[in-house]
Structure 1
Amino acid sequence: MSRADYRGGVLEEIFDRVGVDACVHAVDVDTGRDVGIRPDEQVVIASVFKILVVLEFARQAVAGQLDPTERAVVRAADRLGGWGTAGCADDVELSLRDLAYFTMSVSDNTAADLLLRRVGPDVLPLLAAELGLPRTRVMGGPRQVLESMFDDVGARDAAEFAHMFAALPDERVRALRVFDPEHTTSSTAREITRLLALIWRDEAGPPAACAMVRDLMARQMFWTRLLSGFPPQVRVAAKTGTLPGLHIEAGVAEYPDGGRYAIAVFARAKRLTARRIDVDLAMGEAARAAVDQLRRL
């Protein structure tokens, strides 16, 4: 049994209680000690890929390749649904760095799409390769994900998609390309924790760029997943990812004694219920259990 499977029994029990399958990896950022379950299984990463988008933005900003105060306008044609600027009734003008803030804080799909266009979508696969993430596959951004879902159900627009999607049986939903790691942006839990560890060690780019990403991740507003498992004195910076039946989060827990632990949890529910607070809380419990194990090794 590898060390990455050492904590598997306890983690499996946590997820069995809420009826989900999960891939988990947790690693001590400074020592490399790790625990987890199925850390090398290819999984859909959904909005966790936005960490790469914001990292590339930060690297380009620090290198002087773009001005973070450059203005961008979010128009009706840009809106992709979800949180943030997508809910605005009128055009919104904001800076590139504010696009990065909305991308991380509320997982704004529209902001991420505009930011990706600005930094260059073709750059992200190169960034993943540079950082030693060979199984991290970036296949477009939020717009491409949405378009693939429209195509798969034969919808012409968001309104028609919403109507058709609500009537699909679970097996038809799970057949959409967005749920297939081979046909959408995907990675492994181990590679995502590697990405986070590189950012936290200032090895994913210039230190100022890594610090920018860490600060933005710490401003995420969602608290029911990884953060829910840790006491207030532990600082958790994270990024969520969500699709029907998929509950995802990756982040770093920083302890007052200096311990830093990168964690990635990918939970797949057996039922496609939209809101499962029990699954979210189980993710936090599992993250804490994995980190507790690392702190005892």
Structure 2
Amino acid sequence: MAPPSTADAAASALWAIFDEAGVEGFVHARDVDDADGDREVAFRADAPVIVASVRKIAVAVAYARQAAAGALDRAARHTITAANREGGGIGTDSCRHDVTLSTRDLAFFMLSMSDNAATDKLMEILGTDRVRAVAAELGCPRLPVGRYRELWDPVWEELGLDAEGDIDAQLDRVSEDRIRGLSMLDPTRSASSTPREITSMLTAIWRDRAGPAEACAEVRELMSHQLSVHRLVAGFDGDVRVVAKNGSLWGVLNEAAVVEYPDGGRYTVAVFLRTPVLGGRNPAADAAIGRAARTAVDHLRRPSVQTTFQETA
């Protein structure tokens, strides 16, 4: 991708950040309280991206709507079993024995530590059709919303793996090229979204338009407990409140957030990366997410801002 015109300061700065980190970047940021929606920074903001666990925000909205309507009991107990666990993950996904949690705490584990098993159980309770309808209503019609087995079984089939066998051992024998060629990692061939769609969803939540005010407030509160602070959150000073949800997959690192300043300014920002490294630690890419988010928000906090840079290559 060629660098943008130096006349566009934000786009040039974002391009430099991604180039230095050796990644492809996609960014959208907007002022939550801008009624006209004109104050934005858009860098490949309408390109399709793989969202990974950022999808869990829509699941949380579906849960909170049902709870606020009295159709779902927050305190009801649900047991996460082996049928919900993929193994090797975070939270209850790595538990060796069944775990029982309240409905609310399933949502809490889903957003605080991105617990896949808790998400799977919550999806089982809510139903895929309901979550899909909520995602579409919030402007993310292609967002992946299935239970984890529904999302991953086609991957194992594409790679020719035995879903009932030791997946990790089988993956060790799969080449990086085959993994990179997976439909799941190609946003033009699989469920996806765009940075602009994700910031639209977050803006609706923060403006109490994603459902009843009670539901939106609950999603905001649940999102405030994310344990991970090494990507987007790290780009901001300690007096700035950042409420975020991240996501990771092979060669994909993401984070979407709402950034709240002491002076009352509120900004949604989503940063999506494609990386040359499929897995493991990538400090340069993690730091790039925080730097890109800070660059976009700093630009929004200047007067008379409207920046767009689109590049599809």
TM-score, normalised via structure 2 length: 0.89
Range with bigger deviation, 85-94 or 217-226: 85-94
1:260 maps to: 266
Spell out, residue by residue over 1:158-194, the C-alpha distance to the aligned partner (whole angstroms, 9 max, x if none): 7532123223332211111220224433100000000
1:122 counterpart (129, 146, 156): 129
Is the contact made by 1:50 and 1:103 (CA closer than 8 Å) also made in structure 2? yes
2:182 counterpart (176, 196, 213): 176
Spell out, residue by residue over 1:227-278, the C-alpha distance to the aligned partner (whole angstroms, 9 max, x if none): 0000011111111110021101111110011111101111001232421021
The 1-side partners of 2:268 and 2:54 are apart by 14
Shift of 1:291: 0.3
1:79 maps to: 85
1:157 maps to: 163
1:29 maps to: 32
The 1-side partners of 2:251 and 2:164 are apart by 20
Is the contact made by 1:102 and 1:111 (CA closer than 8 Å) also made in structure 2? yes
Q: Considering only aligned residues, what root-mean-square deviation do their CA atoms show, in Å?
A: 1.6
Q: What are the equivalent positions in structure 2 for 1:1-297 lying under 5 Å apart?
A: 7-31=10-34, 32=37, 33-81=39-87, 82-134=89-141, 136-138=142-144, 140-157=146-163, 160-297=166-303
Greater share of helix: 1
Is the contact made by 1:6 and 1:35 (CA closer than 8 Å) also made in structure 2? no
Is the contact made by 1:49 and 1:185 (CA closer than 8 Å) also made in structure 2? no
The 2-side partners of 1:72 and 1:139 are apart by 20
The 2-side partners of 1:242 and 1:167 are apart by 21
The 2-side partners of 1:158 and 1:281 are apart by 37
Cα gap change, 1:156/1:168 in structure 2, threshold over 3 Å: closer, same or farther? closer
The 1-side partners of 2:244 and 2:56 are apart by 11
Q: Which amino acid aligns with 2:166?
A: E
Spell out, residue by residue over 1:88-113, the C-alpha distance to the aligned partner (whole angstroms, 9 max, x if none): 12111110100000000110111101
The 2-side partners of 1:55 and 1:104 are apart by 11
Which ranges of structure 1 fall in alignment gaps of 5 or more residues? none
Aligned identity (percent) is 47
Is the contact made by 1:124 and 1:138 (CA closer than 8 Å) also made in structure 2? no
2:306 maps to: none
SS for the counterpart of 1:184 is coil
Cα gap change, 1:240/1:158 in structure 2, threshold over 3 Å: closer, same or farther? farther
The 2-side partners of 1:61 and 1:185 are apart by 27
Range with bigger deviation, 147-156 or 99-108: 147-156
Is the contact made by 2:159 and 2:178 (CA closer than 8 Å) also made in structure 1? no
Range with bigger deviation, 161-170 or 65-74: 161-170
Which ranges of structure 2 fall in alignment gaps of 5 or more residues? 304-313
SS for the counterpart of 1:203 is coil
SS for the counterpart of 2:83 is helix
SS for the counterpart of 1:7 is helix
Is the contact made by 2:55 and 2:145 (CA closer than 8 Å) also made in structure 1? no
Is the contact made by 1:14 and 1:286 (CA closer than 8 Å) also made in structure 2? yes
Shift of 1:206: 0.6
Spell out, residue by residue over 1:198-232, the C-alpha distance to the aligned partner (whole angstroms, 9 max, x if none): 00011100111001111111100001111000001
Q: Which amino acid aligns with 1:141?
A: R
Range with bigger deviation, 230-239 or 121-130: 121-130
The 2-side partners of 1:80 and 1:62 are apart by 30
The 2-side partners of 1:273 and 1:70 are apart by 37
Q: Which amino acid aligns with 1:14?
A: I
